[in-house]
Amino acid sequence: MKETLHFIDPHIHMTSRTTDDYEAMAAAGVVAVIEPSFWLGQPRTQVGSFQDYFSSLVGWEPFRASQFGIKHYCTIGLNSKEANNEALAEQVMELLPLYLHKEGVVAIGEIGYDDQSPAEDKYFREQLELAKEFNMLVQVHTPHRDKKAGTIKSMEVCLEHGLDPSNVVIDHNNEETVQEVLDRGFIAAFTIYPKTKMGNERMVEVVRRFGSTNIIVDSSADWGVSDPLSVPNVGKAMLAQGYSEDEIEKVLFANPINFFAQSGRISLEEVTRPLIDQTKLHEENSALRGQDPIVEGKD
């Protein structure tokens, strides 16, 4: 693969990943990531945990990414699982407006349904209203159980609240849901899961069958079994199937950036390999542990 191929992973939880992952992603051509806020694998017990997490998504994590040559953006929201703790959810809703205006926040997300409970519905709707109020894009997590009905319901609720489908990305699609999402004018995101569900070959087949317009691909890599190289690996699979480099970069680079560029906080021009300057510190902290700092892309 040419060095010139560029990728963005528009859904990856880097907080749960290592600096080795950042280095491997940069080496594979990933120049930027978007990190949605989600849960930690166990429920948070106080609003301060959300606050510190959101602060890290706009502070430490973009710094850490930059140290390894990757631009970092994020989406801020109350995830569906923790929407079920209503007492806490109320406090998180009050916190959100403090973060939505921050640099690098490209959407409200990931929000939507998990169990499709009444509390999830309530806070999904409230956050859609917030998106309208703040004129923001929305990144929707669709449930893994009862996928098709949950996906359709997510879109219907967005429309009911008057959101423009072209401002909403519906994530975790499969072959059963994609046509409906595209027909309604939403952006369809696919998560590549290693060993299960959607793999590279299946993803290439989706692009062949459904086209490349309004389709984006991500890894959703987190603390679970997942692969931060999913997006470049789909690129390799597309190349092997005879797709041109332009077609590959359209799906795996331009489509997601052009969607999130509607936020005014990311653009194709701006997303290029950042300069690496490991002599920099973030609030006096470094990601290095005694190594010689690398400075790359400067004289």
Residues 35-54 that bind Zn ion (CB under 5 A): 38
Helix (H, G, I), strand (E, B) or coil at 102: coil
What DSSP line would sit under 3-17, residue for residue? TT--EEESS--GGGS
Which C-beta is closer to Zn ion: that of 62 or that of 109? 109
Which C-beta is closer to Zn ion: that of 22 or that of 38? 38
Torsions phi, psi for 257 (to 5 deg): -70, -40
Torsions phi, psi for 167 (to 5 deg): -100, 10
From the CB of 223, what's the least distance to Zn ion, in Å? 11
Which C-beta is closer to Zn ion: that of 38 or that of 186? 38
Residues 19-38 that bind Zn ion (CB under 5 A): 38
By rule CB under 5 A, what count of residues binds Zn ion? 2
From the CB of 139, what's the least distance to Zn ion, in Å? 9
Report the DSSP pairing between strands 276-277 and 71-76: unpaired
Q: Token pair of 235, please?
A: 């690129």
Per-residue binder mask for Zn ion (CB under 5 A), 172-191, x = binder: --------------------
Q: Which residues contact 227 (CB under 8 A, 6 or more apart)?
A: 192, 194, 219, 221, 233
220 lies in the binding site for Zn ion (CB under 5 A): yes
Residue pair 190/217 in contact (Cβ under 8 Å)? The answer is yes
Which C-beta is closer to Zn ion: that of 141 or that of 276? 141
Helices of type H across the chain = 19-27, 47-58, 60-66, 86-100, 118-134, 147-160, 178-183, 200-210, 230-240, 245-249, 255-260
Q: CB under 5 A: which stretch of 45-53, 198-206, 220-228, 233-241 binds Zn ion? A: 220-228
Which C-beta is closer to Zn ion: that of 173 or that of 220? 220
Q: CB under 5 A: which stretch of 19-27, 148-156, 218-226, 235-243 binds Zn ion? A: 218-226
Which C-beta is closer to Zn ion: that of 38 or that of 260? 38
Q: What does the binding site for Zn ion look like in residue numbers (CB under 5 A)?
A: 38, 220
